[in-house]
Structure 1
Amino acid sequence: MYDSDLTGIPDYIISTKSELGKTVLGLPIIVVTEARQNNFTEGWGQCLAEMLASQKINRDDMLPVYGIVTDGEVWQFGRLVKDVFTKNRTRLPVDNIDRLFGSISHLIETAEKHRTASAKNGG
């Protein structure tokens, strides 16, 4: 995704809208990684690498980058700020769709608030 130390293609990225159009990535704020064969440990390894690369793209390691790892049935959430990674212990099943979508919506709103505050502070 970003440099010689961190390479790869994320499964999904949610980013800000770039002034240069759809083909240019804005600031990445959320990365989503598939837990292939239900292996969440490897999924989090890949997701964390993508979150680190996103931090480099953002050029502000104090701006939180959020990660989601899912096998399509279960969803887990995490956050990276500077060099501190925090994984939420809650595992949300897809059949609890209201709570799952509420969590994703909250994550997007929180990420946007952090991004807006960072922009106001010159970050």
Structure 2
Amino acid sequence: MSYGDFITIDQAVSVLGLTVEDIPHFFSHIAPLEPSQRLKETLDETLDLAANISTEKARSELIITPILLEIRRKFQSKIGYFSGNTFNVDESKGLTGACDFLLSASSNQSLVTAPVLTLVEAKDNALRIGLGQCIAQMVAAQIFNNSKGLKQISVYGAVSTGTNWKFILLENQKVKIDLTEYFITQLNQILGILAEPFRIYFDQ
């Protein structure tokens, strides 16, 4: 069993001993973050291209990656950015395999270093089918952080097609899913939510 075997939210919640709460507009209070001119110009070039290619890989490379790198730049490269890396944490629970995107509050790029704060799962169409997998990866990050002595750290997650984003928060054993879907036209809000765990961590 691996992350990809967590097909549904129900499966992830049941296997991993979680509770789930659906909350409309859960992240809407977070301050938006204005995109840089560099990101605006990049997306002006890549959005239509990704839509026409219309594959998960194209959306990941042409839309999601530039957005996540924008977050890394906002924090002066104090964030570790990983794409497609293996993140084996607990084989007995099925918490093994590769993560589409993983962000840590560490500048170390040689290996994944705690704390892991954000997981992003890329999908080429329906967001909901990626939620179970993303939740499993978030639990793995929580276990990983705890093993390094970093307890009580919330883990953020997102499932994205590039143009559509859905966000999740894991606190202890509770999963909070924002019922609101965010669109690329709300880029400043998407950036704000992605930046939030790093704002909190670095301001401690």
- State the TM-score, normalized to the length of structure 1: 0.78
CA distance in 2 between counterparts of 1:17 and 1:69 reads 22
1:8 alignment partner, one of 97, 105, 116: 97
Match of 1:41 in 2: 128
Number of matched pairs: 111
Which runs of at least 4 in structure 1 moved beyond 6 Å after TM superposition? none
CA distance in 1 between counterparts of 2:128 and 2:151 reads 24
Does the 8 Å contact 1:32/1:67 carry over to 2? yes
Find out whether 1:79 has 2:169 as its counterpart: yes
SS of structure 1 residue aligned to 2:129: helix
| Percent sequence identity over aligned pairs | 25
Give the superposition deviation at 1:106: 2.9
Give the superposition deviation at 1:99: 2.3
CA distance in 1 between counterparts of 2:102 and 2:151 reads 18
Does the 8 Å contact 1:61/1:81 carry over to 2? no
Higher relative contact order (CA 8 A, sep 6+): 2
Q: Max radius of gyration: which structure?
A: 2
- Which of the two has greater helix per residue? 2
The two structures, once aligned, show a CA RMSD in angstroms of: 2.0
Match of 1:31 in 2: 119
CA distance 1:40–1:87, shift in 2 (3 Å): same
1:62-81 Cα offsets, whole Å, 9 max, x none, are 32111011011111111101
Find out whether 1:105 has 2:191 as its counterpart: no
CA distance in 1 between counterparts of 2:169 and 2:202 reads 14
Q: Any unmatched runs of 5+ in structure 1?
A: 117-123
Give the superposition deviation at 1:113: 5.3
Which stretch shifts more, 5-14 or 48-57?
5-14
Match of 1:55 in 2: 142
CA distance in 2 between counterparts of 1:61 and 1:87 reads 21
Q: Any unmatched runs of 5+ in structure 2?
A: 1-86
SS of structure 1 residue aligned to 2:120: strand
CA distance 1:28–1:62, shift in 2 (3 Å): same
